[in-house]
Structure 1
C-alpha cells in the first residue's frame, strides 16, 4: 500500500512588512498573468481554505504581496511553494509583505490561504524585481473539486488545508484542486456548530460560512462557476455533522440527492466520487459509524436515474485510533497522509493516473 509521506518538520518562511524597493515593478491584482484559483470576492479577497494565486516568471529574484484592509487581522496564514516544492507557512498582514525567495529565485510561485477560518487575503498588487519576465500559468489537464466538512478542511492541522488529504491528493496527481470544506457544517442547510448555513447552500456562494462573523462582509454573493477551471473529477465526503445534529437518515439521503441534482447542472459529465464515513475511531479499537447504508443508497439511486458516472468510495477501516487526535477524533497529519495515499491507490485502480509533469514547468 502506497502512503504519502509527510515530513514531520515544517519550515517556516519569513515575511517582513516593508516598503517597495525602487527597483521593483508593481503588478496590479487584475493583471491577467496572475492565475487565480478558489473563491475570490470583488475586493480581490479570498474565501475558503486553499484559495490563492499562481505566478510564473523568469528571472524572478524578489517578490512581495501588497495586501489590503480586508486581510484577516492581525494576519493571515499563507502557504507558499516555490517550483512545486513543499508548501511552507508564512504570516502576512495588511501592507507590503516581502517573500524571501530561494537562492537563485523561482520560476513558479504558488500562494494560498491555508486556514479554515481567518483566511482572507485581500490582494491589491504584487511587487516583483524589474528584471522579472512574467508569463501566464498553464493549468494542469487534471482538476479536482473537493466538497466536505472539517474532515476535509484541515482543521486542527498546523498547516491547515495544505496538510489535508484533498490537497495532498491533488498534489500527488499534479492536478489543480479547489477545496470547499467547512468545519462544523452539515450538508443540510441549517445552523450547526457556528455555521448559519449548510454546504447545500454555501457551496454555491463565493463566501465560506465565516462571512457571518465578518463585519465588513456579512453577506453572501453567488459564485459564478465560470470563474473556475472546470473540474475533471468531483469528490464529496460529508455527513458527520448532519448525524451529530440528528438529521434523520431519510432526510439526509433526500438532501444529498437534491444536492446531486444541482451539482449535475454544473458538472454534467464529470465522475463524482461519494465517500462513505471512515467513522470516529475509539481508544478501545471500535469505530462509531453513521448513516449505515445511506451512501450506497445515494449512489444506487443515481445509477437508477441513468447516472452511471457516480462511484462509491468505501473508506471503512481507513482510520484507526492511532491516526486521529485523541481529543477530537479528527485525522492527524500522518492520518491525512494515510487517507490521501489510500484514495490515490483507489483512484489508480479505478483508472486515473497522475500527470507526468506539471503543465507549467518550473
Structure 2
C-alpha cells in the first residue's frame, strides 16, 4: 500500500532503535540484551545448513531471510540456545523468539554477533508439565530487514532435533497490508500472521512486501510486481538489490517442507492508486497470471481472493468504506471457476514468461472473501493501514471463513498469537 517517503524512513529508523510508536508516542519496551562473547561458552555447534533446522518462509542459498515473518524452528535438548548471525544480517534487526507457545520475547540482533536466546531462566524451560522435545521458534519482525543465520548452538553434550512440519499449510501473497506495516510488531502483528498462527498446527508463509503491485511494473520503488516477483526467493527491497544485484535467485518451490493447501491473495491497493498508472485491463491480466502461476506450482491448492479495502471517507454524519477493483476481482474469480478455464487450465511461469496448459482438467478452486464491514474507520491508523485491532478483526473473520469453507478446525487453544494486546479495565469506579 502507499507509504510516504519521510514517514517510511522514520519508521525504519524507529525499528533500528527498537522503538514502537503507539498513538504517536513511544511504547515502553524492555528488550533484553542478548549478545554474548562466544569464547566464554562451551557449545555444541551446528552450521546453518544442518538438517535439524527448519526454515520457515523464504530464505536464500546464503541463509538470508526475505519477505514477511521468515523464521526457523527446531527442537533441542538441554536449556541453552544461541544463534550466531552472519554479516549479511541487517544490524539491530528486531526478532521475536520463544519456546513452544510461550509469549514472544524480542531482542535486537547484530550482524556477526552471537546471541544467547534460551537459558535456564527462559519461560518454558522448567515447567511443571514439560513437553519433550522443547521447540524453539524465531521470527524476523520487520518486512524490510533480514537476518543471516551462520550457526546455531546448544550446550555442550546436547543436540538439535528435527521438528516435523504440520500437516496443513497456508501461504499469503500480498503487499503492506499482509506484511503488517505500521502494526506494533509489524510481521508478528499482521492479519496474515494472525490467521496462520491462530489456526494452530498450520505452516504459514507470508510472501508480502509494502508498496508492491500485482502488475509487473514499478510501484512506490518496487521495480517488479508480484506476478513476477512471487517466483523469486528475495523481495523487491533495496537490501535485495545490494545482495543479489540484477540476478536474484528463482525460488525453488521444491525446497519448501510443505505445499500450501490454501493460498490467500490480497493485492491491488497499490495498483489502484492513480500515481502508479495501472489500467484495469493490466491489473486483471496480472492478477490472472499470478493465480495461473499459483495453480501451476500448487495444482491442488485452493485460492482465496480478498476484496480490497481502501480506507474510509467522511460521508454525511458517518463514514463510508472505499473499495477498489470490485468488479474486476469478481470477474477474475468467475474466470477461474468457468468451464472455459477448468477444462483446459493454463498456468504461468513468471521466470520465463511462458504460459502452458496442464494435462488434466481442474475443479473449481478460487474463492472470494468479502472484507466489507469487518473494519470501521477507527480500525485504520493515520498511515492508512489497519491498527492492531483492525488486523485482529480481519484475521478473526478470515479464520472463520476458512473454517466454514474448508472445514479447517481451529486447534490453537492457548499459545500467544498477538503480543501485548491484553488490554483490560479493572477499575470499577469511573
Distance, in Å, in 2 between the alignment partners of 1:138 and 1:212 is 31
Normalising to structure 1: TM-score of the pair? 0.90
Q: Which has the higher contact order (CA 8 A, sep 6+)?
A: 1
Q: Does 1:234 align with 2:263?
A: yes
Deviations, residues 273-292 of structure 1 (Å, cap 9, x unaligned): 11111331235411221112
1:242–1:92 Cα change, 3 Å:
same
1:215 positional shift: 2.8
**Can you give the 5+ residue segments of structure 2 that lack an aligned partner in the other structure?**
1-21, 127-133, 343-362, 414-430
SS in 2 for 1:139: coil
Q: Of 239, 253, 258, which residue of structure 2 is paired with 1:225?
A: 253
**Can you give the 5+ residue segments of structure 1 that lack an aligned partner in the other structure?**
1-7
8 Å contact from structure 1 (residues 278, 317) kept in 2: no
Largest Rg, 1 or 2: 2
Q: Of 311, 315, 336, which residue of structure 1 is paired with 2:391?
A: 336
Normalising to structure 2: TM-score of the pair? 0.76
Distance, in Å, in 2 between the alignment partners of 1:230 and 1:66 is 29
Across the two proteins, how many residue pairs are aligned to each other? 347
Q: Does 1:255 align with 2:286?
A: yes
1:212 positional shift: 5.9
Aligned to 1:137: 163
Aligned to 2:51: 32
* Aligned CA-pair RMSD: 2.1
Distance, in Å, in 2 between the alignment partners of 1:357 and 1:345 is 14
Deviations, residues 138-169 of structure 1 (Å, cap 9, x unaligned): 11111101000011101112211111011111
Structure 1 stretches (4+) deviating beyond 3 angstroms? Answer: 8-13, 211-214, 354-358
Deviating more after overlay: 328-337 vs 20-29 = 20-29
Aligned to 1:5: none
Distance, in Å, in 2 between the alignment partners of 1:257 and 1:99 is 44
Aligned to 1:317: 373
Aligned to 2:68: 49
1:241 positional shift: 0.4
Aligned to 2:116: 98
Q: Does 1:149 align with 2:175?
A: yes
Q: Of 195, 199, 209, which residue of structure 2 is paired with 1:173?
A: 199
Deviating more after overlay: 343-352 vs 293-302 = 343-352
SS in 1 for 2:337: helix
1:298 positional shift: 0.4
Distance, in Å, in 1 between the alignment partners of 2:124 and 2:323 is 51
SS in 1 for 2:408: coil
Distance, in Å, in 2 between the alignment partners of 1:39 and 1:279 is 28
1:11 positional shift: 6.9
Deviating more after overlay: 11-20 vs 23-32 = 11-20
Deviating more after overlay: 87-96 vs 165-174 = 87-96
Question: How do 1:204-223 residues align onto structure 2 when only pairs under 5 Å count?
Answer: 204-211=231-238, 214-219=241-246, 220-223=248-251
Q: Of 49, 61, 78, which residue of structure 1 is paired with 2:95?
A: 78
1:193 positional shift: 0.8
8 Å contact from structure 2 (residues 100, 124) kept in 1: no
Distance, in Å, in 2 between the alignment partners of 1:286 and 1:355 is 32
